[in-house]
Amino acid sequence: MDAEEFRKYGRKMVDYIADYLENIRDREVVHKVTPGYLKKQLPDEAPENPEDFEEVFNDIEKFIMPGVTHWHSPYFHGYFAAGNTYPSILGDMLSDAIGCIGFSWAASPACTELEVITTDWLGKMLALPEEFLHCGPGDGGGVIQSTASETVFLCLLAARNKIVDKIKKENPYIEEKDILPRLVGYCTDQANSSVHRSALLGAVKMHKLDSDANFSLRGNNLKEAIEKDKKQGLIPFFLCASLGTTGTCAFDNIEELGPICEAENIWMHIDAAYAGSAFVCPEYRHYMKGIQYAETFSVNPHKWMLVNFDLSVMWIKNSTYLVDAFNVDPIYLRHTNEGKVPDYRHWQIPLGRRFRSLKLWFMLRSYGVSGVQKYIRKHCQLAKDFEKLILDDGRFEVTSKTVMGLVCFRLKRGNKVTEMLLSEVLEDGRIYMIPAFCRDVYFLRLAVVAERTTPDDIRYSFEVIKACADRVFSNMGDMDGDGPVVVDIDLPRKKTTAHDTNSHS
């Protein structure tokens, strides 16, 4: 492809993308394909000779789109919000064109410096303590990672390294292999599955602690667990607290947990992958009380802040815990300006890194702080609108408090009937939702996902759910839906393709 052809198809692709996003409501939100659908249609080998790009272009609608789930349709309510905006797409285009691999400042100074500036901008927008910022008083700062999962793993490794170093300094004859089996980390029973995976990968124990009635991890539970584990010779070293859990968007009480971690020399990491974006609005910052006790904090702008995947930001108060822990410095990566700015390769697991700050910069400049706040508040309001609709219906109940852009609800008649409702909704195909299961309660999660979801879209989704509930009750011969709770009889079920959020994400 030469420049002329690139210009032609570049324009065509931009038009295609704009048409796709502007008309996304008209597409069926969920694909209808079965596994292997694409293999049946595409050749087994790559083409021997170059093909005309026009043909490639035509195959997008023919082969790819039928197998796409349209996450940015206003009728997609699965998981959590996923970022997607035009400025962010443009940022990725430019990043791909520059195509630098910014492992050090010298590898492409703009790549590092824009990341330093934009993570500071974002940190200030979220009102993080200044110790987390590059412009703050110490060795703190932000770094862009691919995902929140990668961040938890990295922080767990840094915390592991910190405690092992400390113990070895105090007991020069003890070996690392004798320390690792005694290390124990903690998280709430509501934590994302990535926390357990990090512990598996990091070869340490991770104890899941019971959360309270609001699915929040409280200080007393952590304290009790620490005392019990210490009596058994274990060494508590890490806590992953969640602000906005995956299942119900619950908030651990970091104001209670923080001082305990400080007293026990435990590294507190805060996973605010989804809900952290809401801290751009002062009215949500009360959930951050206690943030000063955290060593690390992470939020995914690629979830709820208008930036396309992948862009997860992690802030650390003392970056030397990362830089010193994983520093491998061959001569070919060194440069004369070392030490004056971060060499981000030390702050992450891979060596290579993309110029991702461009998309954050483009988005922040296009929306401004006020635009991001407006977007967050709109999503929260839409969730409240939906909550009101289901409560007014009378047959539904909410299963946890709706505080952000997620509503957790079910039919009052219990788990089985709610499961049947989801099957009906998925069969219907006009909207998409996923279930979750907490403390024997099966419920549905309606997340407001698309940026431009309107109150009419929310009403539409409610009408679909209502019609599906009518069908479920009509099949049961109970039109009002006010019969007894159905728990254990084996009702006829349609096949469901839904996932359990806690195990899936």
**What is the smallest separation between the CB atom of 194 and ligand PLP, expressed in angstroms?**
5
Distance of CA 118 to the CA centre of its chain: 19
Q: CA-CA distance, 225 to 207, in Å (whole number)?
A: 8
**What is the smallest separation between the CB atom of 252 and ligand PLP, expressed in angstroms?**
11
**What is the smallest separation between the CB atom of 72 and ligand PLP, expressed in angstroms?**
16
**What is the smallest separation between the CB atom of 312 and ligand PLP, expressed in angstroms?**
5
Of 108 and 312, nearer to ligand PLP (C-beta) is: 312
**What is the smallest separation between the CB atom of 193 and ligand PLP, expressed in angstroms?**
8
Residue ranges binding ligand PLP (CB under 6 A):
80, 147-149, 192, 194, 242, 244-246, 271, 273-274, 300, 312, 505
Of 308 and 505, nearer to ligand PLP (C-beta) is: 505
Six token digits for residue 71? 């996450």
Picking from 362, 369, 451, 367, the residue whose alpha carbon sits closest to that of residue 22 is 451
Q: CA-CA distance, 72 to 69, in Å (whole number)?
A: 9
Of 77 and 413, nearer to ligand PLP (C-beta) is: 77
Specify whether the CB–CB gap between 206 and 199 falls below 8 A: yes
Q: CA-CA distance, 266 to 237, in Å (whole number)?
A: 4
Sign of CA dihedral 91, 97, 103, 107: negative
Picking from 308, 280, 237, 285, the residue whose alpha carbon sits closest to that of residue 89 is 308
**What is the smallest separation between the CB atom of 145 and ligand PLP, expressed in angstroms?**
8
Six token digits for residue 360? 């954050």
Residues facing residue 372 across a β-bridge: none
Distance of CA 294 to the CA centre of its chain: 19
Of 147 and 366, nearer to ligand PLP (C-beta) is: 147
The H or E element spanning position 296 is strand 296-299
Of 164 and 288, nearer to ligand PLP (C-beta) is: 288
Of 148 and 163, nearer to ligand PLP (C-beta) is: 148
Specify whether the CB–CB gap between 189 and 211 falls below 8 A: yes
Of 80 and 237, nearer to ligand PLP (C-beta) is: 80
**What is the smallest separation between the CB atom of 59 and ligand PLP, expressed in angstroms?**
29
Q: CA-CA distance, 432 to 169, in Å (whole number)?
A: 54
